[in-house]
Chains A and B, each alone.
Chain A
Amino acid sequence: MATGPGIKSEWIEAENIVVRFSGDSGDGMQLTGMQFSDTTAFLGNDLSTFPDYPSEIRAPSGTVAGVSAFQVHFGSSAVFTPGDRWDVLVAMNAAAFKADFPRLKRGGIVIANTAGFDRKSLSLANFPEGANPLEDGTLDGYTLYQVDFNKHTADSLKGIPLQPKEVARSKNMLVLGLLFWMFDKSMEFTIAAIRDKFLDKPDIAEANIQALKSGWNLGENMEIFTTRYVVRPASLPPGTYRNVHGNQAIAIGLMAAAEKSGLGLFLGSYPITPATDILQELSRYKSNGVLTFQAEDEIAAVCAAIGAAYAGKLATTTTSGPGLSLKTEAIGLATILEIPLVIIDVQRGGPSTGLPTKTEQADLMMAFYGRHGEAPLVVLAARSPNDCFRMAFEACRIAIEHMTPVILLSDGYIANGAEPWRFPKAEELPPIRVQFLDHANGPDNAVLPYLRDERGVRPWIIPGTPGLEHRIGGLEKEDKTGNVSYDPQNHEKMVRLRMQKIQSVERDIPPAELDSGTSGDGLLVVSWGSTYGAVKTAVRMLRNDGVNVAHLHVSYLNPFPANLGDILSQFQKILVPEMNSGQLVSILRSRYLVPAKAFSKVQGQPFTTEELCNAISEHYNAQ
């Protein structure tokens, strides 16, 4: 502990806390939340974070549409989600209060910046004339701390030569200092971060540090603050950790695969929310020779990647739903060419433009079937921010070693969410085998670009290789030679060969394993993608309450692990929660003829553990 318990304070020990920092877009809540999270992580808590921005870049100031929030869930036990409801709401203005009060836990804490609850702010937030939730009994039964952060910031920075605007901008540090006091977290990490960030602006750095310390002192000295909370470090596996966002983890996974395969990395992409970060992140790695290409549109982006793959690169393209729609014809080409191509779809609410900044899992059917003709490919899904690393690496490995396009599904929830990651060492990652053909592989020095190995995989032959000149294309090709063929029997044969090749990937992926529970349990919950954390938490809670429910998470979706059907057949009841109208459940039912039921939510919002617990219990108890 940084300091011992003060004289006036009462200490309460908590296992898990969710704090929601909520304010106007200009209030610096993202930075505040991230600093709080970093310190919390360094001090050994497990955590999960989620930034929640408005979709408008600068919505009108002071309105509910302009509220920007950052949520952090930290605990002394394992944390798998950013939390359904918050224990502490920091509301920098009336609009933030309006947006985020409904999900404050009953009896929770509100820290309100009174400067943001004047008549004008209340009116901008559409409170009725004369109403003020801080005063009208709305918060009876809650703990309310009212602080004029604006005034305290101005007071604490007297004497530092700054413009009033710059002074006002420091108030988020005051908030942060107060929260550090309340949760007894050291300020030293943030002080170091501030010094680092404002190396060449010492005045600004000083102001921020001063504001931070004033915030701490506020807790120490103001009579209203009587309670502090301790969340003891979690017993995480020992090792070195870092913080990682889903999109960042994908970028790292792609670079790791490039390194492990010895191939240059190429990314063809077009900016689209919420996938753009991956293009931005990889564009920074020029010193590692990463080729990033911002194309004129989604189609050019994937086609350039196809060209790069043909010429021997580890080629990838990143997008979200609308972009995947545009890329489908080209992905079909990659399928019939049988070249390695990694397509990353960071899903968002659809159809059409839909809910660009909100999350959904509704592209699964599209990933499976969304191409004309029969064009099978490999489909994988990441389950958490740091799992994005593992699955991006896997997507590359399978694409290269099986000469196929692979679609990796992520979504807005894990793309922007962050969590601690016990990252691997480079040497712990498996090598990815790459073999460019360098000699004629047929009789009489013939080049047979579609001669397959025992797994059904054709050779990768790159232009520039002497003596292996050949043509490939989107027209149906003759088995082995790849020459254009309209022969009816050959077409059926090729369709089947391409399918068998994808099916054979099942021998190269880990078997399905129950995440919790056993085959004797009364119900199996099957999850895929970003619902993992919420489902895992819900199942744990129910099991602690004596409900015999098991959990299976599926990361490899096409092909499924070979033993998936066996596991499913061991349960009488199966529930599949998805953020769509029931896509995986349809596939499981048709593929395995099991009585799986859907639990759907299509609101652009992740499942809460509470609603999952309710749905699972209900299905468990149903006759």
Chain B
Amino acid sequence: MMQLAFTEPAGKLSPKDFASSQEVKWCRGCGDYSILKQVQTIFPDLGVAKEDFVFISGIGCSSRFTYYMDSYGLHGIHGRALSIASGVKMANPELSVWVISGDGDSLSIGGNHFIHTIRKNFDINMLMFNNQIYSLTKGQYSPTSEKGKVTKTTPFGSVEEPFDPVALALGAQARFVARTIDSDPKHMRDVLLRAHGFRGTSFVEIYQNCPIFNDGAFESFSDKHAKKEQVILLEHGKPLVFGDAQQMGIYFQNGRPRIALLGDPQFSEDDLWIHDETDRVKAVILGMFSRMVQDGRPFPRPFGIIFAQEGETYEAMLHAQIEAVRSRKAKMNLDQILSGSKTWNIQ
């Protein structure tokens, strides 16, 4: 009897090939599951050999991610994943380096590395799971928690203003800034693919629901009805429109963004905001939407590629400089290094 065998062509990996043998131990309903799944889904198609993926993470629920990927991985210490990753990248620029971190890990204890790694522009894909809470330590406010947040350490409400990570990254001269959400797998996959393809530090903020300590924090961006009023899906070259029937738009008037009904006679058609992901000024304003209000109505939140403009990466320049010096100055052999330029003999 003939047996029909359908086998994958050799070398073609499947998402399963990226799942490690370790049991995934996030809470039921945690947004992290979706992120893990999207990453494993896109990885076989990235054109990168499996052994060339490296995951580096810090501390927090998000950072356990490393243990669940069947790739190379290093679970580091709190806040320092980017620094470890930068060392990996300098040592071997060929590797595809992914950093997994959370809002506390990146923006609180790791704030210094966050701004400087972005500024230096290592070719690293950084996924920051923002759940606006410290979950692994069981519920304290984070640098992205809204002011007034009641948590175990702020029983009467926090008194701090939060960071908007997008604005912070842009302030640190980020060259790739994107935002996506755990509840929209397709959108997340598209954003992750772009982050992977981008040469330089790709910062992706992922809104991630923590069902235990901050459930519903992003409901207005995930709820089928609410999100229509609160979400702008950015597309390069397309206008910023939103609403039930895409009837609302963002206009630019007197140097400020304004929310209006499309066709509102107070605005010129030319003033409708067309998204340009290479426009840093516009990107900075998009980063301020989370804090802007018009007549008591919060601005909708932009999702997608907020800014993307490639520049030279740190490790490329570092190695290019070495090559440049080498081209005009011969390598010193060890005996020359040992002797230096001035020696004398004693008989």
Contacts and interface: CB of A to CB of B under 8 A. Distances in A.
A488 B81 CA distance: 28
Contacts of B332: 285, 287-288
Interface string A290-323: 0101011101100111111111110100000000
Contact of A307 (B91, B335, B345): B91
A238 interface: yes
Interface stretch (B257-265, B284-292, B319-327): B319-327
B345 A239 contact: yes
B296 interface: no
A304 B76 CA distance: 11
B75 A268 contact: no
Contacts of B92: 311-312, 462-464
B224 interface: no
A472 B74 contact: yes
A426 interface: yes
Given A291-B91, A463-B88, A471-B20, A255 B67 contact: no
A329 B109 CA distance: 13
A329 B77 CA distance: 8
B91 A264 contact: yes
A38 B342 contact: yes
Interface in B26-78: 49-52, 54, 56, 59, 66-67, 69-77
A15 interface: no
Interface string A353-369: 00000000000000000
A241 B345 contact: yes
Contacts, number: 206
Contacts of A244: 340
Interface string B309-337: 00000000010011001100111111101
A60 interface: no
A464 B93 CA distance: 11
B345 A240 contact: yes
Contacts of B71: 469
A558 to B, nearest CB: 23
Given A242-B343, A252-B337, A470-B72, A464 B95 contact: yes
Contact of A473 (B66, B94, B113): B66
A288 B331 contact: yes
Contacts of B91: 264, 266, 291, 307-308, 310-313, 315
A330 B109 CA distance: 14
A504 B116 CA distance: 40
Contacts of A255: 334, 337
B84 interface: yes
B51 to A, nearest CB: 5
Interface residues of B, number: 58
Max chain B CB contacts within 10 Å: which of A44, A315, A333, A471? A471
B330 to A, nearest CB: 7
A464 B116 CA distance: 26
Nearest to A243: B342
Given A286-B325, A307-B56, A474-B75, A300 B112 contact: yes
A237 interface: yes
Given A288-B332, A307-B87, A469-B70, A256 B337 contact: yes
B112 A296 contact: yes
A237 B92 CA distance: 44
Contacts of B342: 38, 242-243
Nearest to B337: A255
B80 interface: yes
Given A464-B51, A464-B52, A468-B51, A289 B322 contact: yes
B339 interface: yes
B231 interface: no
Nearest to A233: B346
Given A259-B337, A285-B337, 11 more contacts: A38-B342, A266-B87, A287-B325, A287-B332, A307-B56, A423-B338, A468-B51, A473-B66, A474-B75, A475-B75, A483-B22
Interface of A: 38, 41-42, 44, 233, 236-244, 252, 255-256, 259-260, 264, 266, 268, 285-289, 291, 293, 295-297, 299-300, 303-313, 315, 329-330, 332-333, 337, 422-426, 429, 462-475, 483-484
7 contacts: A252-B337, A299-B83, A300-B116, A308-B90, A333-B77, A471-B69, A473-B74
Interface of B: 20, 22, 49-52, 54, 56, 59, 66-67, 69-77, 80, 83-92, 94-95, 112-113, 116, 318, 321-322, 325-326, 329-335, 337-340, 342-347
- Which 3 A/B pairs are nearest by Cβ-Cβ distance? A307-B87, A473-B75, A303-B83
